[in-house]
Chain A
Amino acid sequence: MSLLSRANDVQLSRRTFVMSALLAGGSLVITPRFAALAQANEAKPLGAFIRIPATGKIELVIASVEMGQGVYMGLSTLLAEELEVGLDQIVAVPAPPDPALYAHPALGDQITGGSVSIRGFWEPMRHAGATARTMLIAAAADQWGVPTTSCRAELGEVIHAASGRRIGYGALVERAASMPVPRDVALKPASAFKLIGKPARRIDTPAKVNGSAVFGLDARPAGVKFAAIAICPTFGGTLQSVNDSEALKVKGVRQVVKLSDAVAVVADHTGAARKGLAALEVTWDRGVNATVDTAELERRADAAMAGNTVVAHSSGDINAAEAANATGIEGVYRLPILPHTAMEPMNCTVHVRPDSCEVWVGTQVVSRARTAAAQVTGLPVEKVTVHNHFLGGGFGRRLDHDGVIMAVRVAQQVDGPVQVVWSREEDVRHDSYRYLNLSRISIRLGPDGMPISWRHRVVGPAIMARFLPIFFKDGIDLDIVDIAESPYEIANKRVEFARHEGPEGMLTGNWRGVGPTRNAPAVEGGIDEAAHLAGIDPVEYRRRLLRNNPRLRRVLDLAAARAGWGNDLGRDRGRGVGLLSAFGSFAALIAQVHVDPRGALKVERLVAAVDCGLIVNPEVLRQQVESGIIYGLSATLYGRLTIEQGAVVESNFDDQPVLRLNECPQIDVHIVESAEAPGGIGELGTPGVAPAVMNAIFAATGQRLRTLPIDTAGLRRS
Chain B
Amino acid sequence: MAYSLNVNGRIHSVDVDADTPLLWVLRDVIGLTGTKFGCGVAQCGACTIHLDGHAVRSCVTTIESAGSSAIMTIEAIGSTPKGSVVQRAWLEEEVVQCGYCQSGQIMSAVALLNANAMPSDGDIDDAMSGNICRCGTYPRIRAAIKKAARGGSNTGNGG
Chain A positions within 8 Å of B, measured between CB atoms, are: 66-70, 201-202, 204-215, 217-218, 220, 226, 250-252, 268-272, 274-275, 341-345, 390-395, 421, 423-425, 619-620, 623, 626-631, 634, 652-654, 658-664, 666-667
Known: A209-B106, A250-B17. A623 touches B46 (CB 8 A): no
Complex interface bits, B87-108 against A, C-beta within 8 A gives 1, otherwise 0: 1001110111111111100100
A269 and B24 contact, CB distance less than 8 A = yes
Q: Which of B99, B128, B132, B139 contacts A213 (CB 8 A)?
A: B99
Known: A220-B33, A270-B24. A623 touches B132 (CB 8 A): no
A343 and B87 contact, CB distance less than 8 A = no
Across the interface, name the chain B residue whose C-beta is closest to A67.
B98
- Kindly list 10 other residue pairs between chains A and B, CB separation below 8 angstroms, not including A341-B134, A627-B97: A68-B97, A202-B96, A251-B16, A252-B16, A343-B98, A424-B39, A425-B40, A623-B94, A623-B97, A661-B131
A271 and B136 contact, CB distance less than 8 A = no
Cα distance, A15 to B51, chains bound together (Å): 60
Interface-centre pick from A69, A623, A652 (highest chain B CB count, 10 A): A623
Across-interface contacts of B136 in A (CB, < 8 A): 626-631, 659, 664
Across the interface, name the chain A residue whose C-beta is closest to B108.
A661
The 6 closest A-B pairs by CB, nearest first: A211-B34, A630-B136, A208-B99, A68-B98, A392-B100, A271-B24
6 contacts between A and B (CB under 8 A): A207-B99, A269-B27, A271-B17, A271-B28, A344-B38, A661-B128
Across-interface contacts of B141 in A (CB, < 8 A): 661
Interface-centre pick from B32, B38, B130, B141 (highest chain A CB count, 10 A): B38
A424 and B41 contact, CB distance less than 8 A = yes
Known: A210-B78, A211-B35, A664-B139. A343 touches B101 (CB 8 A): yes
Q: Which of A271, A390, A623, A652 contacts B23 (CB 8 A)?
A: A271
Across-interface contacts of B37 in A (CB, < 8 A): 217, 270, 345, 421
Total A-B Cβ pairs within 8 A: 202
A271 and B25 contact, CB distance less than 8 A = yes
Across-interface contacts of B103 in A (CB, < 8 A): 211
Across-interface contacts of B106 in A (CB, < 8 A): 209
Cα distance, A68 to B101, chains bound together (Å): 11
Across-interface contacts of B36 in A (CB, < 8 A): 215, 217, 343-344, 392
Across-interface contacts of B41 in A (CB, < 8 A): 424, 652, 654
Cα distance, A268 to B134, chains bound together (Å): 30
Within 8 A of A (CB), among B40-87: 40-41, 43-44, 46, 73-75, 77-78, 87
Across-interface contacts of B17 in A (CB, < 8 A): 250-252, 271-272, 275
Across-interface contacts of B124 in A (CB, < 8 A): 661
B33 and A69 contact, CB distance less than 8 A = no
Across-interface contacts of B102 in A (CB, < 8 A): 208-209
What's the nearest-Cβ distance from chain B to residue A427, in Å?
9
Across the interface, name the chain A residue whose C-beta is closest to B159.
A666
Instruction: Tell whether B138 is near chain A: CB-to-CB under 8 Å.
Output: yes
B38 and A424 contact, CB distance less than 8 A = yes
A209 and B39 contact, CB distance less than 8 A = no
Across-interface contacts of B74 in A (CB, < 8 A): 210-211
B139 and A209 contact, CB distance less than 8 A = no
Across the interface, name the chain B residue whose C-beta is closest to A269.
B28
Known: A269-B29, A652-B43. A69 touches B97 (CB 8 A): yes
A205 and B91 contact, CB distance less than 8 A = yes
Q: Which of A68, A343, A666 contacts B132 (CB 8 A)?
A: A343
Across-interface contacts of A211 in B (CB, < 8 A): 32-35, 73-75, 103
Across-interface contacts of A663 in B (CB, < 8 A): 129
Q: Which of A272, A393, A660 contacts B16 (CB 8 A)?
A: A272
Cα distance, A210 to B99, chains bound together (Å): 10
Across the interface, name the chain A residue whose C-beta is closest to B94.
A619
What's the nearest-Cβ distance from chain B to residue A419, in Å?
8
Q: Which of B33, B91, B131 contacts A206 (CB 8 A)?
A: B91
A269 and B25 contact, CB distance less than 8 A = yes
Instruction: Tell whether B133 is near chain A: CB-to-CB under 8 Å.
Output: yes
Across-interface contacts of B138 in A (CB, < 8 A): 630, 659-661, 664
Across-interface contacts of A218 in B (CB, < 8 A): 27, 33
Cα distance, A629 to B134, chains bound together (Å): 11
A343 and B100 contact, CB distance less than 8 A = yes
Across-interface contacts of B101 in A (CB, < 8 A): 343, 392
What's the nearest-Cβ distance from chain B to residue A524, in Å?
21
What's the nearest-Cβ distance from chain A to residue B6, in Å?
18
Across the interface, name the chain A residue whose C-beta is closest to B86.
A209
Across-interface contacts of A202 in B (CB, < 8 A): 94, 96
Known: A68-B99, A209-B91, A226-B28. A272 touches B137 (CB 8 A): no
What's the nearest-Cβ distance from chain A to residue B18, in Å?
10
Instruction: Tell whether B154 is near chain A: CB-to-CB under 8 Å.
Output: no
Cα distance, A272 to B18, chains bound together (Å): 11
Across the interface, name the chain A residue whose C-beta is closest to B83.
A210
Across the interface, name the chain A residue whose C-beta is closest to B63.
A271
Cα distance, A271 to B96, chains bound together (Å): 28
Across-interface contacts of A272 in B (CB, < 8 A): 16-17, 20, 24
A344 and B25 contact, CB distance less than 8 A = no
A205 and B134 contact, CB distance less than 8 A = no
What's the nearest-Cβ distance from chain B to residue A418, in Å?
12
Cα distance, A423 to B21, chains bound together (Å): 14
Interface-centre pick from B44, B87, B95, B136 (highest chain A CB count, 10 A): B136
Across-interface contacts of A425 in B (CB, < 8 A): 40
Known: A201-B94, A390-B98. A68 touches B135 (CB 8 A): yes
Known: A201-B91, A202-B96. A345 touches B38 (CB 8 A): yes
Across-interface contacts of B33 in A (CB, < 8 A): 211, 214, 217-218, 220
Cα distance, A213 to B101, chains bound together (Å): 12
Across-interface contacts of A70 in B (CB, < 8 A): 97
Q: Which of A207, A212, A631, A654 contacts B134 (CB 8 A)?
A: A631
A210 and B31 contact, CB distance less than 8 A = no
B132 and A210 contact, CB distance less than 8 A = no
A661 and B98 contact, CB distance less than 8 A = no
What's the nearest-Cβ distance from chain B to residue A692, in Å?
16
Known: A343-B44, A627-B97. A271 touches B21 (CB 8 A): yes
Across the interface, name the chain B residue whose C-beta is closest to A211.
B34
Cα distance, A560 to B2, chains bound together (Å): 64
Across the interface, name the chain B residue whose C-beta is closest to A208.
B99
Instruction: Tell whether B146 is near chain A: CB-to-CB under 8 Å.
Output: no
Instruction: Tell whether B147 is near chain A: CB-to-CB under 8 Å.
Output: no
Across the interface, name the chain B residue whose C-beta is closest to A625.
B136
Q: Which of A226, A268, A393 contacts B100 (CB 8 A)?
A: A393
Cα distance, A501 to B47, chains bound together (Å): 37
Known: A269-B28, A423-B40, A627-B135. A390 touches B99 (CB 8 A): yes
Across-interface contacts of B97 in A (CB, < 8 A): 68-70, 623, 627
Across-interface contacts of A208 in B (CB, < 8 A): 96, 99, 102
Across the interface, name the chain A residue whose C-beta is closest to B88.
A209
What's the nearest-Cβ distance from chain B to residue A261, in Å?
22
Cα distance, A148 to B28, chains bound together (Å): 56
Cα distance, A210 to B94, chains bound together (Å): 15
A653 and B44 contact, CB distance less than 8 A = yes
What's the nearest-Cβ distance from chain A to residue B3, in Å?
12
Cα distance, A680 to B140, chains bound together (Å): 22
